[in-house]
Structure formats: structure tokens, C-alpha cells
Amino acid sequence: MNLSTNNEIDIVRASSTKINDIDFDNLVFGNIFTDHMLICDFKDGKWQKPTIKPYEPFLLDPSAKVFHYGQAIFEGMKAYKDNNDDVWLFRPDENFDRFNKSAKRMAMPEVPEEVFLGGLHEILKIEKDWVKKGKGNTLYIRPFMIATGTGVVAAPSSQYRFMIILSPAKAYYSGEVKVIIAEHYSRAANGGIGAAKAAGNYSAQFYPTKLANEQGFQQIIWTDDATHTKLEEAGTMNVFFRINDTLFTAPSSERILDGVTRKSIIALAEKEGIDIQVRSVLVWELVEAAKNGTLKEIFGAGTAAVINPIVGFSYKDEYFELPKLEDSVALKLKDKLTNIQYKLEEDTFGWTVKI
């Protein structure tokens, strides 16, 4: 191993690389990780010096509070390589801000910009060869923080670990996606942690999603916890509905994650002259639109999948197939967004950041 420093970060380089053993044409999302990871610990009331070191397991005490009280948050980001071999990030400031909003909601310490963004830039410089050229190829970035303090008293931890790991990726979902509208289970509740990107939000979805899978559906469109009449998110993504020529999406709230892709789609739609309304969409509106033929598209939006069209939905045991369109707004917006991310079109929004 080779030890070096940039004054702000200690760097321990791996003695060899596993990149030549990876089949980049047949990646399973989130299963392969790069040679290095970033670690920064919080203890004695302050953040310590970050370290970039070889990717490896690490030990935790069995009483670490992450195991018992679920103090764990994360972000999802991607790096892209353009045709000139330059590596780019997409709106990393939004992920940084949201990460610290999640930290605050979960009674965890906020991560300094020089650790989160500065550390991210440094590790991407080291792992730039893992970012492959070509539309569809990305390096998925997973910043996360866990409570590492010990003891089983139900109270916030006094110690935490912030990490960044990287995984080469292609498409997140493959094949057609059919969804079922939730009538009983909820993703989040008012006053809860739905707006935080907390690990517990996702584990709570696994069981109802398993039930949906058993019925032949890939995901759930979540509804509000109080009345189950408002459409909120699709699986792990924000969700959009196109009725006639108007695009609808729910407003962010205590229950709904303020997605970076969601915000970008709204801005792109407005620029493209697409009528878009940010308001609560009711289940009966969607069912009525499906029955009278005015429902044209439903699609999920998130970092991992970018935009994922939904081919049909079920509600109260009635299934509604969506029309197959040549003028899909979802695919048009996905193409526009990914062209900006891969630097194939001018970024007039100032969203992209060069490494």
C-alpha cells in the first residue's frame, strides 16, 4: 500500500486493483465496489480527519447503536464520464444539503462540506477509471452515516461513522414495471421521517413490496397514511402522472422525499413548455383518467433509475394498462436529462460539476 496525504485527507492506496476482473457489460446493480472507500469518524464532539483506504470490512461493537436504534442515513448519487474522458457530478450540492437535513432529523451530526464534497472529489480522482464512457454507464455513489457509539440505552449515539463507497452501474430496473396502489400500508406519516433518506424508510417497504411481488407487481405506489387517497411515491422513487398533456407530481412534504431527479424533471418540463402541476393527485382521479382514456403515462424518477416508465397499475383488484406511446414525455425528459449528465447537450442550468 502507498500512504499519502493532501493535508485534508489521508490516502492509503490499494496495492492492486480488481478493475480488470470486472465485466462492465454485465453488472448487477450495487453488487460490485471499487478499490477504495472513504471513512471519517465523529467522536469527542468533532469530526476527525478523513481517510481514503482500500475497500474492506470493518469491525463494530455488538452494542453499536445503529444495530439497536436505527440511526442510519444515506444518499444516492452518480458520476458520469463524457467523450473527453472528463468525470462529472450532477447537482452534488443538492445531495449534500439533503444529507445534512436527514442527519438533523435523525439527531446525527451534520457532515462538513470539506468531508462530504471534498472527500467525494478526492476519491473520484483516485477511482476515475471505474467511470466508463457511454450513455448508460455510471459510477453509483453511496455516501452514508451510521451510529457507532456503544450501549443499549435508547438515546442518540455519541459516535458516528461517515463513509463513501462507489459501485459501477448500468440500469437499475429492467423489464416492464407494473405497480399496485397501496390501500393499507404506508411509506411514511406526518411528523415522521419520510422526508429523510433514512435506512428505516426502506426496510419498512420490504414486506408490502414482497406482497406486491407475489401478486405479479414490481412496485407499489404509496398513498398517504391518513386517508390512502393521495398518490405519493412509486417504490423508492418520486412519481409523475401525465393526464392528457399535463404532468402532475405530488409536492414534497414530511412524507415525501425531495428528490433531486424530481426537481430536475420539473425544471426541464417547464423549460420544454410542458404543462406541469405540483399538487396532490387523488386515487380516484387516476382511476377515472385510466377509464376515460386521458391517462397517458406514469413514471418513477430517482437517481438510480433516472426515469422508469410504468406500464400499468392495479387498484382494488382492477388492473389498468397504460397506452404504448410514440410521443412519450417520460422518455423525452429522460433523454434530455441524461444528455445533460453525460455532457451531450449544453447544461444551461449549471447542474453539472467537473471532477
Helix (H, G, I), strand (E, B) or coil at 114: helix
**pLDDT (tens digit per residue) in 172-207:** 666 789 999 999 999 988 899 989 999 999 999 999
Query: CA–CA distance from 242 to each of 88, 217, 248, 270, 318 (Å)?
Result: 31, 21, 6, 14, 20
pLDDT single digits (tens) 12-57: 999 999 999 999 988 888 899 999 999 999 999 999 999 999 999 9
Does 2-169 match 178-341 in CATH topology? no
CA distance 224 to 255: 8
CATH class of 2-169: alpha beta
For the chain, the structural domain boundaries read 2-169, 178-341
Q: What are phi and psi of 214, to 5 degrees?
A: -65, -20
- Per residue in 238-264, pLDDT (tens digit) is 999 999 999 999 998 888 888 999 999
Residue range 338-343: average pLDDT?
Answer: 96
* Secondary structure (3-state) at 236: coil
Q: Quick one: what percent of the chain has pLDDT higher than 90?
A: 85
Return the minimum-mean-pLDDT range out of 67-76, 171-180, 290-299, 345-354: 171-180
Residues 40 and 47 sit within 8 Å (Cβ to Cβ): yes
Q: What is the architecture, at CATH level 2, of domain 178-341?
A: Alpha-Beta Barrel (3.20)
Spatial separation of the C-alpha atoms in residues 178 and 272, rounded to whole Å? 28
- Which triple of cell numbers denotes residue 287? 382511476
Whether 334 has a pLDDT exceeding 60, the answer reads yes
Determine the pLDDT at residue 173.
Answer: 62
pLDDT at position 281: 94
